[in-house]
Structure 1
Amino acid sequence: MFDVNDDHAAPSNPGHNDTFHDVVERAFSRRALLKSGAGLSAALFLGGLSGSLSAAGLARSAPAPLLGFAAVAASSGDEVVVPPGYTARVLYRWGDPLFAHSPAWRGDAGESGAEQALQAGDNLDGMHFFPLTVGGRPSGSEGLLVVNHEYCNYEYLFAPGGDGDYLAPWTADKVTKAQNAHGVSVVHVKKQGGVWKVQRGSRYNRRLTGNSPMTLSGPAAGHALLKTAADASGTAARGTLNNCANGVTPWGTYLSCEENFNAYFATAAAGWKPGPSEARYGLSAAGAGYRWHEHDARFDLAATPNEPNRFGWVVEIDPFDPASTPKKRTALGRFKHENACVVVAADGRVVVYMGDDERFEYIYKFVSDGVYDPRRPAANRDLLDRGRLYVARFDAGAAGGDFAGSGEWLLLDKHANATLAADARFADQAEVLIRARQAADAVGATRMDRPEWIARHPASGELYCTLTNNSSRTAGQVDDANPRAANRWGQIVRWREAGGDHTATRFEWDLFVLAGNPIAYPDRGDPRSGSANVTADNSFNSPDGLAFDADGRLWIQTDGNFSNAGHYAGQGNNQMLCADPASKEIRRFLVGPSGCEITGLSFTPDSTTMFVNIQHPGEAGEHPRKPTGLAAGQSMEDYLARHPLAFSRWPDDGAGGRPRSATVVITKDDGGRIGS
């Protein structure tokens, strides 16, 4: 409902830095990229990959293939489809009671704002399973599942109001309810009688919302740009919002990433216009339709101009201490964070890779000053407060090697980077971090196609990043790696750091897969069909969620067009695929219900249980069952508020009264490792 990255929203990066496609065009000629009748060059996307991965130690001695499951077909149904021999069960749904005193789900959207704070939040996204220790070992059957709640769908959150306006009357309690549908859940889960169940009333259970106390820490904490009338210290924030994907630290904390925070801010003040900083982060007087500013001055851009600066951070949460206050780690920079991939470098420093999920935005990494000490967990708690932030520039390189080109991590430091030192827009390092996008613009970072999840291969150490799509690219930006007027399908880029050192400032890169649709475009010489490992049997668009399992399988989740028509014909609902990085094979493992996104992924330590989130089932989007004729003046949201089961009855087959985002538990019927 409020996706600021849809085809109708303008990108907020007006700059002229090189796009990733500009770089690829310089790196390869058309002759190197295209082979007559064979689609995109296997040498670039596939052939070079196997050699480099084998050299990196990924070749397996066992002859069995890494992908041991039968692929599932595309589907436009209203259920979760998994391979034969697997079972998927719903575990935790929007509105489920979490505490002993939580109200039960009503199904008519009649819960109050206070009641929503006691229930599961909406639109589950990134998550992680933290095992409890049983008998001195991490348990595979009990732990804490920490789940993000990215946003909410008003058409399902509220009971319909007056004719033509399902939100009428608009009240302060509705604003509170929407804020409390956001945030994070900490959920104690346990396998009992072979079935995973929520331990309602556990002392670990916790809801963090758009109103929960937060601490701003690190170099920007206390800066004038973070101070408000309600917080003169600039360190006591309130709430976390648009919590998209996540990360996990080696000391056992959870990183929740704030993404499209700009959507919640607006103002009715006459004459208010965004300045350069507000515009660069997509803030506008109209906002995105949440209407919080009408009853909460925090979200009125004229009344509380610094409040937006207090969002767009990575939030560190201790799941094992319900009394702890989450910390927004400002050293990691402020932008629309997708996830946070945490790596401990060989010298012990902690490295965090991050993407900024908007068209033409950047890929970043943070390198801590201090080193991780596994013997002293308490000593690691503030490692993310001090370090250096970098942004990636992808350079062209000589063709013929395993990788397409080289790249450099550009330091975002007011004192150590001459470009930033001379830039009057940044008075100090705190302003570099608060305005990280402008700093990245200034140093010449490469503009990417919506960088989202980043994942590290457990054996090679190579990094993979989903670039979901970029419909804003024009014909003038066509290049040999993406020879189409708009990147409707996306791709996955990968890189390896120089010398295998995650703190290095140089890297090599290439593309792992270029998504496309050989069903709609069967001529493999047509770049729209995708790279050679995309076939009619695994066709997909808009890769988003990304994770490796312990055995080295790469799991790819999609958040794209599910119209099953036109450019997306035959691709069906959003899905999850699995790739073998060495053989290059990709198979479809799961298809979600009608109108959903597949997102969030975690495993138990023994890899026998997989947790996956099904977000916004029944969302309108480009739904193939959209009604062709609405009443005069009626919006699609108003229609769905009055017909909540029109697009999806999942997960309760309609018994819940409306579609509900939920966590699904997937197990193999023989008890084996997922994917084997």
Structure 2
Amino acid sequence: MAKHHLDPQYLDPNYEPVVNRSGNTPFGDILAARMQRRTIMKGSVGAALAGLMGAGLAGCGSDDDDDRASSSGVASTELGFKAVPVSTENRVVVPEGYSAVAFLPWGTPITGAYPEYRPDGTNSGEDQEQQVGMHHDGMHFFPIDLKAGGNSSSEGLLVMNHEYINQNALHATGPSYVNGLRPADEVRKEIAAHGVSVVHIKRDSAGVWDLVHGSPFNRRITGNTEMDIRGPLRGYHKLVTKFSPDATETRGTLNNCSMGPTPWGTYLAAEENWHGYFANKGASQPREQVRHGVGSESRYDWELADSGADAYVRFDITPGSGSAADDYRNEANTYGFMVEIDPFNPQSKPQKRTALGRFGHEGVIFAPVREGEPVVCYSGDDSRFEYIYKFVSSQPYYAATAGGYLLDEGTLYVARFNDDGSGDWLSLDLEDPDFAAKVQAAMGTTVGDIVFEGFENQADVLLNTRLAADIAGATPMDRPEWGAIDPNTGEVYFTLTNNSQRTEDQVNAANPVANNQTGHIIRWQEAGNDHAATGFQWDIFVFAGTQGTETVVDGEAVVTLDDDNIFNSPDGLWFDYNGRLWIQTDGSDDAPYQNNMMLAANPETREIKRFFVGPTGCEVTGVVSTPDVRTLFVNIQHPAGNWPDASDPRPRDATVIVTRDDGGIIGA
């Protein structure tokens, strides 16, 4: 009964099913139309980017270094450290003059009765609900005085996602089955290891960080926490369940990858590969499940808990003989959203913000807000051949009254990348004449694997966001993951991690090798530097790869990768408060890349250096600093060896605290 055919550590790059068969023009084909093949160099392909705006988008930014100087006097985007080499060691590697310390590993007690972590795996489900979850991912540091207008760098709330689990490490002897059923407390523990941790932390006079024991802010949000449904899908009949017959509530958030801090001081957790948690054993599936790859069996068999409790039965979404209010056929429709959590209000109920669309959210990034103007945010759908989205609020932002309600009404757009270097944001609003015409034209046709029969209303559009984007004519991308916005220029960056499904007939200058495993980073400037605009200009910031891989603009190699910066499968992405770009990887640990890593980039010069290498088998994911950029928090997910404690028989995901030995600014 164990899921031997599913990787328990979730490392299979093919796990995310390709479910976009719409036939929309792939991004690689569009890029090929404006690029030329260049010379093979040092055994790698020199990828050529034809210039579309002179020296590229970097020319759109200010060149006044004084505006971006750090307190050290060094221009804030310069990289002042010595690059570290690749590594196969089961430890964290940082540059000379830096220190790295593991912090808040899985199982750390943070709330309630503060039950201690047991290395033998015998902690109960109730214990896990009071401990830091498993598989740390996206995170953010909120200064403790943020709501009072402060920016403390010595005390705050560290909020982090827990994407999924390693069942073998979580339990004493791995997952178990008795007569085809799973012990309910094992299931409870697995659900509790998912979700989000809110941890109140403080630095002492010696510079050592620790959690604030007994703080009312310490909190766990898990896969069973009750949540509200907000926005256009609240009350929609396709979200009706036995738990919420009026479709206003649900339970839990799962597979939270990246995140996004809001301009009003809350935290948005992203629900990414939620489809694998549900099982539909029926003869057919509705399009809401087909377009996401929901299968006939679930990843962890939670629906088989021997207690038969409603909290576990809900993962079986096979329709019963009664109405939707009698079973959980619609339970999966309450997942695939951004979930807003207020870390400063421990009694607050998390809110699923449905106006931002339902898909495999990798995370969300907010454009800088301006008084009296709409709120704008971006999100990638992390799967091969999926899309990049933008949300523009209907109501304007005012700092004095801003809140999550701004995310309940607005327009959701999807990106189309044109072959001349321009781009368009395509509205997914039935009130938009262009989109409405496309919907009408698609009626009765087969879109991918789905016979399209229209949308009931705008709520139905948002429930089926991927399908709506197919019909709109969006550009399928190579796994769009984390995004980041340059604080100095306003340019938007997104990682396109890889695409192992690319075939020989799709080879082009942007993705010159079939079964592409290396990926690249794209960026764009919105028209008029207005993030609410419906047009943009784009280029490629860098192609990942081995030594000699080039990114060429106007015939000149602006980046040539060498021993100091080879990388593959860019995933995490973050601009620090000074303007350096941090790039994290989730790729192969084979030569020449070895363990996954984090690099720093100067967005003006495209200089890139390797700053951090993780322990064996891990993904390096999640990065944020204190406002003064003197403490850096980095997450290590699914380490393969016994890290961070060699004496512990179980590997433990953990946050790593990186500081400069002289107390200076990280990266400078």
TM-score, normalised to structure 1, is: 0.87
Give the CA RMSD over aligned residues: 2.5
Query: Which residue in 2 is equivalent to 1:280?
Result: 291
Q: Does 1:128 align with 2:140?
A: yes
Q: Is the 8 A contact 2:266 2:342 kept in 1?
A: yes
Which of residues 473, 497, 500 is equivalent to 2:529?
500
Q: Does 1:99 align with 2:111?
A: yes
Query: Which residue in 2 is equivalent to 1:338?
Result: 362
Q: Does 1:546 align with 2:579?
A: no
Give the 5 Å matches for 1:36-115.
Answer: 40=46, 44=50, 52-58=57-63, 60=65, 66-99=78-111, 101-115=113-127
Paired with 1:330 and 1:524, the residues of 2 have a C-alpha distance of: 41
Shift of 1:29: 3.5
Q: Is the 8 A contact 1:388 1:411 kept in 2?
A: yes
Query: Which residue in 2 is equivalent to 1:229?
Result: 242
Q: Does 1:487 align with 2:516?
A: yes
What are the superposed Cα offsets for residues 206-243 of structure 1, whole Å, 9 maximum, x if unpaired? Answer: 00000001000001111011110121110111111111
Shift of 1:372: 1.2
Paired with 2:471 and 2:570, the residues of 1 have a C-alpha distance of: 29
What are the superposed Cα offsets for residues 176-219 of structure 1, whole Å, 9 maximum, x if unpaired? Answer: 11100000011000001310101122110000000001000001
Q: Is the 8 A contact 2:550 2:561 kept in 1?
A: no
Q: Is the 8 A contact 2:35 2:48 kept in 1?
A: no
Amino acid across the alignment from 2:122 = G
Moved more, 295-304 or 103-112: 295-304
Which of residues 31, 37, 56 is equivalent to 1:24?
31
Amino acid across the alignment from 1:501 = D
SS, match of residue 19 in structure 2: coil
Paired with 2:639 and 2:332, the residues of 1 have a C-alpha distance of: 29
Shift of 1:147: 0.6
Distance 1:92 1:396, change over 3 A: same
Query: Which residue in 2 is equivalent to 1:672?
Result: 664
Query: Which residue in 2 is equivalent to 1:591?
Result: 613
Amino acid across the alignment from 1:475 = E
SS, match of residue 355 in structure 2: helix
Q: Is the 8 A contact 2:374 2:397 kept in 1?
A: yes
Shift of 1:43: 5.8
Query: Which residue in 2 is equivalent to 1:621?
Result: none
Shift of 1:486: 1.9
Query: Which residue in 1 is equivalent to 2:465?
Result: 436
Paired with 1:311 and 1:177, the residues of 2 have a C-alpha distance of: 20
Query: Which residue in 1 is equivalent to 2:446?
Result: none
Which of residues 247, 253, 258 is equivalent to 2:260?
247
Amino acid across the alignment from 2:365 = C
SS, match of residue 33 in structure 2: helix
Give the 5 Å matches for 1:615-626.
Answer: 615-618=637-640
Distance 1:501 1:168, change over 3 A: same
Q: Is the 8 A contact 2:586 2:596 kept in 1?
A: yes
Q: Is the 8 A contact 2:543 2:551 kept in 1?
A: no
Q: Does 1:415 align with 2:431?
A: yes
Shift of 1:55: 3.9
Paired with 1:531 and 1:211, the residues of 2 have a C-alpha distance of: 49
Query: Which residue in 2 is equivalent to 1:352?
Result: 377
Amino acid across the alignment from 1:413 = D
Q: Is the 8 A contact 1:415 1:421 kept in 2?
A: no
Distance 1:552 1:533, change over 3 A: farther
Paired with 2:259 and 2:252, the residues of 1 have a C-alpha distance of: 17
Which of residues 299, 303, 306 is equivalent to 1:293?
303
Percent identity between matched residues is: 48
Moved more, 116-125 or 414-423: 414-423
Shift of 1:504: 0.5
Q: Is the 8 A contact 1:516 1:531 kept in 2?
A: no
Paired with 1:318 and 1:257, the residues of 2 have a C-alpha distance of: 15
Distance 1:35 1:496, change over 3 A: farther
Give the 5 Å matches for 1:557-576.
Answer: 557-562=584-589, 564=590, 569-576=591-598
SS, match of residue 470 in structure 1: coil
SS, match of residue 367 in structure 2: strand
Paired with 1:244 and 1:161, the residues of 2 have a C-alpha distance of: 24
Amino acid across the alignment from 2:459 = A
Query: Which residue in 2 is equivalent to 1:660?
Result: 652
Paired with 2:483 and 2:262, the residues of 1 have a C-alpha distance of: 15
TM-score, normalised to structure 2, is: 0.88
Distance 1:337 1:49, change over 3 A: farther
Paired with 1:443 and 1:504, the residues of 2 have a C-alpha distance of: 18
Paired with 2:503 and 2:48, the residues of 1 have a C-alpha distance of: 26
Shift of 1:48: 6.5
Amino acid across the alignment from 2:297 = A
Distance 1:532 1:55, change over 3 A: closer
Q: Is the 8 A contact 1:542 1:560 kept in 2?
A: yes
In structure 1, the gaps of 5 or more residues are 398-404, 619-647
Which of residues 577, 599, 608 is equivalent to 1:577?
599
Query: Which residue in 1 is equivalent to 2:3?
Result: none
What are the superposed Cα offsets for residues 144-194 of structure 1, whole Å, 9 maximum, x if unpaired? Answer: 0011111101111111169x9899972111111110000001100000131
Query: Which residue in 2 is equivalent to 1:629?
Result: none
Paired with 2:550 and 2:606, the residues of 1 have a C-alpha distance of: 17
Shift of 1:3: 3.6
Query: Which residue in 2 is equivalent to 1:209?
Result: 222
In structure 2, the gaps of 5 or more residues are 1-7, 306-311, 320-327, 444-452
Which of residues 623, 627, 637 is equivalent to 1:601?
623
Give the 5 Å matches for 1:309-348.
Answer: 309-344=333-368, 346=370, 348=373
Amino acid across the alignment from 1:461 = G
Q: Is the 8 A contact 1:272 1:285 kept in 2?
A: no
Distance 1:51 1:390, change over 3 A: closer
Q: How many residues align?
A: 619
Distance 1:166 1:491, change over 3 A: farther
What are the superposed Cα offsets for residues 389-422 of structure 1, whole Å, 9 maximum, x if unpaired? Answer: 000000110xxxxxxx111000001222223552
Which of residues 14, 28, 39 is equivalent to 2:21?
14
Q: Is the 8 A contact 1:50 1:581 kept in 2?
A: no
What are the superposed Cα offsets for residues 559-609 of structure 1, whole Å, 9 maximum, x if unpaired? Answer: 1111x2xxxx22110000011111111100000001100011111111111
Distance 1:60 1:44, change over 3 A: farther
Paired with 1:301 and 1:4, the residues of 2 have a C-alpha distance of: 26
Query: Which residue in 2 is equivalent to 1:517?
Result: 546
Paired with 1:427 and 1:558, the residues of 2 have a C-alpha distance of: 41
